[in-house]
A and B are shown apart, each in its own frame.
Chain A
Amino acid sequence: MKFNLPFRKKKTPVEVPMPKENSERIAQSKDCFVQSIKDATNNPSDLIIKFLPPNLSLIYIDNLVDKQTLNNDIIANLQDKPNETPENIKDNLSIPEINVTSLLEEAIAALVNGSVVIHVDGFAQLIVANIASRESRSLSAPENESQVIGTQVGFNESLATNISLVRRYIVNPDLCIGKIKVGKRTNTSVTLLYMNGIASDQMVNTLRQRITELNVDALLDSAVLAEMIDDNSMSVFPQMLLTERPDRFCNSLLEGKLGIIVDGSSMAIICPQSFTEFFQSQEDQNLRWQIATFVRLLRLSAFFLSVYLTPIYVAALTFHYEVIPQAFLIPLSESRALVPFPPIFEALLLEFIIELLREAGARLPTKIGQTIGIVGGIVIGTAAVQAGITSNILLIIIALSALASFTSPSYMMGNAIRLIRFPIIILAGFWGFYGIMLAFCFILIHLLRQSSLGAPYMSPLYPPRMRGMLDSVIRMPIPLTARRPAMTRPSNREKFDPEPVKPEES
């Protein structure tokens, strides 16, 4: 059953009312013009109006423009010139982005975007010069995706900086960058990046259509955008990757994926993304392939461990005590003897406490964070065992599964893993191993049904592609991974000509 969502993705395009041709012209007299600007912008306190005698008015919003450029290039050039037409002024100013417009709408939009508007008294045209300067954080190491070896630079909140970082890695004219504005009130700039000649045109069109069809009030972050253009917002599994690393971003672009960078957000979106790719890290490319294979298998087994270990414990203790090995039975039953609750309740309580710790740790100020972490972790744990609320074996199991859920390189996927554990514990507590199998089959069918931008979510496991599997759960040496993954339907399959792994004896 499909639930109707507020954001229609594949249906008929929403009727966007055509913007009325704003026939409001620009007043020719200075005072009327200034008044009209003030009315349109609700007379903000940071609107600066400078009159340059004899007939020029400069209007801009303070703190959005680059003062130095304003002073040196604009005001200096305009000060001693006689009154000229807007065309003349436009040619004289040494600003790269400069336009003449006769629509008030455009001028207001440019004004709030960081341009300076120059009005010549007596003319109905305006000169709009873009000298926006944005304050942004200096480039630093990505906070949520750290690697041991590899680049230590991450995206920051400025769109221009991010695009320049991408251009630094992919020095190629085929990198296509398209700009779309999303959000009625925020007018956030969203750029769509892809490699011309590699990415599939159909996917580009689908994605572009999805973004342009959005009819939202505001767009503040890329994660919100990801949820809005997802294939299935109701699923707990993310279908698009959010990453802070430019090298990960560029690697995906080169494989034929499409990237989206949102202005004001340091996370870039990559789609389509398959399930196994959420467990891959860029660091795998930097390590030797045997170690990379081992680490990837470790992550995948950590996923299963994290999701199923506690439910198996609950199921075995509640229903299937025969499964527990003899040697383990006595310590297990003795450690549980003190606990007054049934295993399911004990497990849920402990999981809840761990989630509390995690959430509190994320919100705490750094000064208190360390102390509370230790207090929470060690003291509460030991005290709980001694008070008889929980058994120490369960404590170890839950701590292990919590740890295992953090090995996923993607924070969103880690969250999904932590969440699906709860229903599985409840199912295991009521129906033992049968409940666990039900949950497993349900998740399997759900993953099979899922698609990411139209591409199957379980690719390359299903539909099975032998070549694709060489770089999914394992990582084979570079010559064996010379093809791009099939899920992106790239126009150009081969990355390079694979050579033999060992060079010929020459």
Chain B
Amino acid sequence: MKKLRHIIILLLLFIFLCGCAETNILDQVGLTTLVGYDVGKEEEIATTAVIREVNPEFQSNVEVITTEDSTSKGNRMKSNRKLSKKIMVGQMRVILFGEELAKDDLHYYINTNLENASVSNSLYMAVVEGKTESLLKYEYKNIDDIGQHIYKLLEQNIKQEYTISPTLHEIAHDYYTTGKDIAMPILKRDGELVELNGIALFKDGKMVSTLPAKDSFYIKVVRDTFKVGIFETTLQEDDLPSTLLKSKEKVPVAFDAIQSKRDIKLVDASKTEFDLNIKMKARVLEIHKDINLGNPKKVAELEKAISKKLSKDVSRVIAQSQKVQSDVFGFGEKYRSTVRNSNLTKEKWHEMYKDIKVNVNVDFVIVRNGVFE
């Protein structure tokens, strides 16, 4: 028995000594916070990585490194050759795509990042107008860590519901759904700042169209629900009934604390006609003309006017997406879930999408308007 015990102890020691795992000690890794992909020469991928290193001598250093290789891991190897720390992607927050690359096909990038277990599913993806390299390599006066800055920019805008939420999970979810296409926000450098410039519409992983930033509200209202959003629109002259305002002028109105609910119904399967009902409740923040909001009749008319304007704008946005065959709203998904044995595929739906008819119906309710009337 004693000998057996000795053998067991030796075995345990052996296990301890040999079973070591690979360490990734925090201050010996360079953390990649942001990666930008561009089209390189000769069908290679150019990656620009924003890497934060921690050094004992001075404050943490942020490096922006550009390399070119045929795969993203090859690029990582090349970048590793330029740094003193091991590059890890576990804390990557944002992935940016150059415009040219986005027009090509993003399917490959979505897949690679899903496969990598150390990449989080909640990282943001966005398209950059032009090349990511120029956006990232520019020496901003006030921005220290461009990776962190872009991440925070996207994060707070999404939280405030100014733009759609382009996390890796949601984009992959939409990509793999038959009957829905992906959409991503567009970034642009504006002087010393980085700006959210609009929304890119995709068809099957290829970017086909862009919409200005103001229209991101309409896309979000159809795709999602609002909880705290804020928006401003201008009521045109012909929208307003004369009972509301004597002179025919434009009335800019801003409202916030928007709570919206949307409902898509397939009315007619053969004619692919959808009913889109949007119910919105909001608080009117600013209204430029002297419209007395204390008068309930005037309030009702104002609501109607705003509803009409919103329906018009939503229809316009949907029509534009139909033109490029990019169904970012999910009408196809609704079709598939209502019609039995539809056997819908992405190509089939893209064909059918340009011919669908959508009846937009916005129901806007002014809940309150502040403390001064």
Contacts and interface: CB of A to CB of B under 8 A. Distances in A.
A289 interface: no
Overall SS of chain A's interface? helix
A322 B26 contact: no
B23 A342 contact: yes
B324 interface: no
A411 interface: no
B24 A321 contact: yes
Nearest to A321: B26
B21 A337 contact: no
Given A322-B118, A329-B91, A337 B56 contact: yes
Contacts, number: 59
B56 A318 contact: no
Given A319-B21, A430-B20, A431-B21, A326 B91 contact: yes
A388 B88 CA distance: 25
Interface string B2-34: 000100000000001001110111110101000
B60 interface: yes
A333 B23 contact: no
A319 B60 CA distance: 21
B60 A318 contact: no
Interface size range on A against B? 20 to 34
Give the size range of B's interface with the partner: 20 to 34
A333 B54 contact: yes
Contacts of A326: 91, 93
Given A329-B91, A330-B60, A334-B59, A318 B19 contact: no
Interface string B21-62: 101111101010000000000000000000000111001100
A272 interface: no
B25 to A, nearest CB: 5
Interface string B323-342: 00000000000000000000
B19 A336 contact: no
Given A333-B54, A430-B16, A318 B31 contact: no
Contacts of A322: 90-91, 118, 120
A321 B91 contact: yes
Nearest to A4: B1
Contacts of B20: 430-431
B60 A336 contact: no
Contacts of B118: 322
A317 interface: yes
B21 A317 contact: no
Contacts of B93: 326
Contacts of B16: 430
A332 interface: yes
B56 A332 contact: no
B100 to A, nearest CB: 31
A343 B28 CA distance: 11
B26 A332 contact: yes
Interface of A: 1, 317-322, 324, 326, 329-330, 332-334, 336-339, 342-343, 388, 430-432
22 contacts: A317-B25, A319-B21, A319-B23, A321-B26, A321-B88, A322-B120, A324-B26, A326-B91, A333-B26, A333-B54, A333-B60, A336-B26, A337-B55, A339-B27, A342-B23, A342-B25, A388-B56, A430-B16, A430-B19, A430-B20, A431-B19, A431-B20
Interface of B: 5, 16, 19-21, 23-27, 29, 31, 54-56, 59-60, 88, 90-91, 93, 118, 120
Given A326-B91, A333-B27, A336-B27, 16 more contacts: A1-B5, A318-B25, A319-B24, A321-B26, A321-B88, A329-B31, A329-B91, A332-B26, A336-B26, A337-B27, A337-B55, A337-B56, A343-B25, A388-B56, A430-B16, A432-B21
Complex A-B, nearest 5 residue pairs according to Cβ-Cβ distance, in ascending order: A322-B90, A333-B54, A337-B56, A336-B27, A317-B26
